[in-house]
Chains A and B, each alone.
Chain A
Amino acid sequence: MSGHHHDHDHDDVDAGPPLGDLQLRVRALESLLVDKGLVDPTALDTLIDTYETKVGPRNGARVVAKAWIDPKYRQRLLENASTAIAELGYIGRQGEDMVVLENTPKVHNMVVCTLCSCYPWPVLGLPPVWYKAAPYRSRAVIDPRGVLKEFGVTVPDDVEVRVWDSTAELRYLVLPERPAGTEGLREEQLAELVTRDAMIGTGKVEAPRPKAKR
């Protein structure tokens, strides 16, 4: 883990209080909610653990891989994403509707939330820091091609870039293009290729590099 640096001048350095302001506020709120029976601490820990480790972008990767190998599933996914995603057991906790955007040789989709970083948690876990940052939120709309270039994605001029702004009720998941050279792969192997960035639209799925001869 890289060194943690404080870029603020609060008094929480060496001789300061053992708990910082934010930690105290969180503890105060949580303990009051628990005392009032509004939050069950065990359930809270389980919930956090789910988002932190179990959910992750893996759920979304399985959705994408299934859509690649199963044309009927893909059809259902594009027509009614919430239902098709729920088939795999991934259900939105906030009751939001999911829409799946299909990348094609002519259209590249990317997703942003310019207001408050809405994100399809059930399929992608928690959002990465850059997704929540002002530069991405504002620049993705103004200069999507420039932003994509910074992510190492070059979109040819004849490909249209569509930027989708998420809302509280509507979350988007990009269905990336299946890379050439993956015809022989099984669903699970395909899922491993699918990255979180590819499902936000800031990355592309690459075929696995040929392994060195054993």
Chain B
Amino acid sequence: MTERPLRDTPGMPRDQEGPVFREPWEAQAFGMAVMLHERGHFTWMEWTKRLATEIAAARARGEHDDGTRYYHYWLAALEKLVAEKNLVGKEELSTRKHEWDVAARSTPHGQPIELKRRA
């Protein structure tokens, strides 16, 4: 494992109040986990265990974890936990993802992407 000094970590903000999310989807993923927890769907302990497992697995795969992939692990952990808690199943998630993909591809550039509502 190559350990690079903190200074060489790409994307590491040295400013005091640098951006906390790199991209909007990270903030969305963050918010969903916090809100599901607040509504009592899982304990924060359950959540952090899931997240830690995800991070440990990435490390075991040899992924270079410089912090920029943190929310990738976050999202993967959340997908697994909602399936485990029978909130959102793996298959419906995959179907819905496909629907968004189709919607996005058929939406002209500059228009908001929306899913067609079924009734």
Contacts and interface: CB of A to CB of B under 8 A. Distances in A.
Interface of A: 7, 17-19, 22-33, 36, 38-40, 43-45, 47-48, 51-52, 56-57, 93-96, 115-118, 125-136, 138-139, 147, 150-151, 167-169, 195-197
Contacts of A168: 44-45, 47-49
The 5 tightest CB contacts between A and B, nearest first, are A133-B67, A126-B20, A168-B48, A28-B97, A94-B44
Nearest to B87: A38
A130 B9 contact: yes
A212 B7 CA distance: 32
Contact of A115 (B52, B82, B99): B52
A40 B30 CA distance: 14
B67 A125 contact: no
B119 to A, nearest CB: 13
Given A17-B101, A39-B35, 15 more contacts: A22-B75, A24-B101, A28-B94, A36-B87, A38-B88, A39-B32, A39-B39, A47-B35, A51-B34, A116-B55, A126-B20, A129-B22, A133-B12, A135-B4, A147-B6
B20 A127 contact: yes
Interface string B36-62: 111101001101110110010001000
Contact of B35 (A31, A44, A56): A44
A19 B79 contact: no
Contact of B78 (A17, A29, A57, A138): A29
Given A22-B72, A94-B44, A47 B88 contact: no
A132 B44 contact: no
Q: Give the size range of B's interface with the partner.
A: 35 or more
Contacts of A43: 35
Contact of A129 (B7, B11, B28, B36): B11
Contacts of B88: 29, 32-33, 36, 38
A32 B66 CA distance: 31
Interface string B84-99: 0001100011101101
A51 B28 contact: no
B100 A29 contact: no
Nearest to B59: A134
**Most interface-central of A39, A43, A45 (chain B CB within 10 A):** A39
A96 B48 CA distance: 12
Nearest to A169: B45
Given A32-B96, A130-B67, A135-B66, A26 B29 contact: yes
B6 A150 contact: yes
A43 B29 CA distance: 14
Nearest to B75: A25
A28 B96 contact: yes
B32 A29 contact: yes
20 contacts: A17-B104, A18-B109, A22-B72, A24-B100, A25-B97, A28-B94, A28-B96, A39-B36, A47-B35, A51-B34, A126-B21, A128-B13, A129-B22, A129-B70, A130-B6, A133-B9, A133-B66, A135-B5, A139-B6, A168-B44
